């Protein structure tokens, strides 16, 4: 018996409408017309090269299969031992959840919540939301609350850090490999598979196809012109579903398709970014002054700061691990603070000649911010695992909370910064293209 392909997967949006579909770039505000896209292709903004749409083959089925596989891997990861160690006949074995719960016993509930939320809870919610959405689309009748769930997916994406946690686990194991015997449990391998599958799931989401299948696509406002900025025409692109909407006179409104709040620019973008950067800079001082963890060996306690831990790894000969910690815990947060401060300071002096490079810098700062959580995860794993009394034990220091705050604050600072402000300059003199550029991607 032949099984018909669901309508949602049969034809892309361009094949189901007889008109141009317009988009306003979220990074430079340039209005473009989406070209017809085949499987494995993407449409990029002709002005700043920001990817507007990615197209995949069978997007609903692909995302659902990956999400189901990820959930199964996560279930296995939380059901079996994660890692164990032994030294001089004394050892300990932990499960994945203990990397968070052990921190509570040391009066670090906020760090514990951050750990469990970023590696288990938020990824699980995200995957369940993807399955809920795609199941409704595949059967031809969207499930209840699909629109609200679809709006939430993009917001959850930056806060899921399973891949960062795996790097933190590897760093932790390398740090103690010379002092104790390590045994990896089923959970470790399952979580590694989960991290890969979760990454593939997030990359498989075709939000353009998903929103078109959920709510179709209302026509763009009459008179919308390509090759110009949206703000100059009194319109804006929805940050969630991409639909171009006419802005009310007061400059605020809601998207016709997904009901997301609309603004010509993020409200008080620079003020909020400055405030978050200042708070992050203040928290970075105790994060480096106070110890991030204290190691007890044969009754002797040795507190260690972030820089002290890097120096200790170098003295042990673990140069690659020391480099990872130094980059993630020193170079990345400091570089991100400096880059965002510089962007805020020079934004009024931007022009089209330097806007492209400044936008690339913004993308880089937005991408690397989450990787600073490596050091926090290292502390969480070592504190839970190394529990051998006075023979050997590790306790968290006050810098763990301060450093976690730095990571969160810098991530929020990057989110509140509106890159369209970089491009708010007079229209370019170069020839304006009317459609987005089309490129081939892995599909």
Rounded-to-integer distance, Cα 78 and Cα 177, Å: 24
Pair of tokens at residue 356: 């492209």
Range in 69-73, 83-87, 125-129, 134-138 the model is least confident about: 83-87
pLDDT digits over 172-201, tens only?
888 777 677 888 899 999 999 999 999 999
- Mean pLDDT value of segment 32-45: 87
Residues 332 and 396 in one domain: yes
Residue 340: CB atoms within 10 A of its CB come to: 25
* pLDDT over 80 at 240, yes or no: yes
Residues 42 and 156 in one domain: no
pLDDT digits over 344-398, tens only?
998 887 777 788 889 999 999 988 888 889 889 988 998 888 876 666 778 888 9
pLDDT value at position 2? 42
Residues 279 and 417 in one domain: yes
Q: Domains in the chain: how many in total?
A: 3
- Mean pLDDT value of segment 138-155: 87
Tell whether 431 is covered by a domain: no
pTM of the model: 0.88
* pLDDT over 60 at 81, yes or no: yes
Of 63, 84, 178, the residue nearest 127 (C-alpha) = 63
Residues 385 and 283 in one domain: yes
Tell whether 325 is covered by a domain: yes
Residues 192 and 238 in one domain: no
Range in 58-67, 70-79, 82-91, 178-187 the model is least confident about: 82-91
Tell whether 222 is covered by a domain: yes
Tell whether 442 is covered by a domain: no
Tell whether 14 is covered by a domain: no
Range in 84-88, 210-214, 307-311, 377-381 the model is least confident about: 84-88
Note down the domain range covering 316: 267-425
Residues 407 and 283 in one domain: yes
Residues 45 and 64 in one domain: no
Residues 348 and 324 in one domain: yes
Residue 167 sits in a domain whose CATH number is: 1.20.140
Tell whether 4 is covered by a domain: no
Tell whether 139 is covered by a domain: yes
pLDDT digits over 401-418, tens only?
999 999 999 999 999 999
pLDDT digits over 198-231, tens only?
999 999 998 888 888 888 888 888 888 888 899 8
Rounded-to-integer distance, Cα 7 and Cα 213, Å: 9
Residue 226: CB atoms within 10 A of its CB come to: 19
Q: Using the 8-state DSSP alphabet, how is residue 189 labeled?
A: H
**What whole-number percentage of the chain has pLDDT above 90?**
38
Residues 180 and 195 in one domain: yes
Cα–Cα distances (Å) from 191 to 107, 171, 373, in that order, read 27, 16, 17
Contact 417, 269 (CB under 8 A): yes
Residues 413 and 275 in one domain: yes
Tell whether 435 is covered by a domain: no
Rounded-to-integer distance, Cα 267 and Cα 107, Å: 37
DSSP states along 317-346: T-HHHHHHHHIIIIIHHHHHHHHHHHHHHH
Residues 234 and 274 in one domain: no
pLDDT value at position 337? 93
pLDDT value at position 435? 53
Range among 22-31, 297-306, 319-328 with highest mean pLDDT value:
22-31
Residues 80 and 191 in one domain: yes
């Amino acid at each position: 018996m032949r099984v018909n392909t669901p309508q949602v997967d049969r034809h892309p949006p361009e094949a189901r409408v007889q008109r141009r579909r317009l988009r306003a770039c979220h990074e430079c505000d340039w209005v473009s017309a989406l070209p017809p896209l085949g499987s494995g292709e993407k449409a990029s903004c002709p002005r700043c090269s920001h990817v507007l749409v990615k197209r995949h083959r069978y997007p609903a089925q692909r995302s659902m299969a990956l999400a189901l596989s990820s959930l199964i891997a996560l279930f296995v990861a939380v059901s079996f031992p994660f890692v164990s160690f032994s030294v001089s006949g004394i050892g300990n074995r932990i499960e994945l959840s203990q990397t968070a719960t052990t921190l509570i016993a040391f009066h670090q509930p906020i760090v514990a919540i951050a750990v469990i939320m970023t590696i288990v809870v938020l990824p699980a919610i995200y995957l369940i939301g993807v399955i809920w959405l795609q199941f409704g689309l595949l059967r031809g009748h969207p499930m209840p609350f699909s629109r609200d769930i679809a709006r939430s997916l993009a917001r959850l994406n930056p806060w899921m850090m399973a891949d960062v946690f795996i790097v933190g686990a590897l760093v932790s194991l390398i740090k103690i490999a010379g002092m104790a015997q390590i045994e990896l449990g089923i959970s470790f391998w399952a979580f590694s598979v989960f991290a890969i599958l979760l990454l593939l799931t997030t990359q498989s989401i075709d939000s353009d196809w998903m929103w078109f299948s959920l709510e179709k696509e209302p026509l763009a406002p009459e008179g919308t012109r390509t090759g110009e900025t949206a703000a100059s025409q009194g319109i804006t692109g929805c940050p969630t579903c991409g639909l171009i909407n006419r802005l009310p006179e007061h400059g605020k409104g809601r998207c016709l398709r997904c009901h997301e709040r609309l603004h010509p620019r993020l409200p008080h973008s620079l003020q909020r970014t400055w405030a978050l950067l200042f708070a992050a800079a203040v928290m970075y001082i105790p994060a480096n002054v106070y110890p991030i963890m204290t190691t007890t060996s044969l009754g002797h306690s040795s507190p260690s700061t972030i820089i002290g831990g890097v120096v200790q790894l170098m003295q042990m000969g673990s140069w690659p691990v020391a480099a990872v910690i130094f980059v993630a815990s020193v170079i990345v947060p400091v570089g991100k603070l400096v880059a965002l401060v510089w962007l805020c300071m020079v934004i009024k002096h931007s022009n089209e000649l330097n806007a492209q490079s400044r936008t690339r810098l913004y993308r880089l700062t937005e991408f690397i911010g989450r990787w600073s959580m490596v050091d926090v995860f290292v502390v969480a794993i070592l504190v839970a695992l190394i529990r051998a009394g006075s023979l050997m034990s590790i306790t968290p220091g006050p810098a763990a909370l301060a450093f976690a705050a730095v990571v969160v604050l810098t991530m929020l600072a990057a989110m509140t910064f509106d890159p369209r402000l970089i491009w708010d300059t007079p229209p370019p003199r170069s020839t304006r293209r009317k459609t987005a550029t089309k490129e081939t991607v892995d599909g």
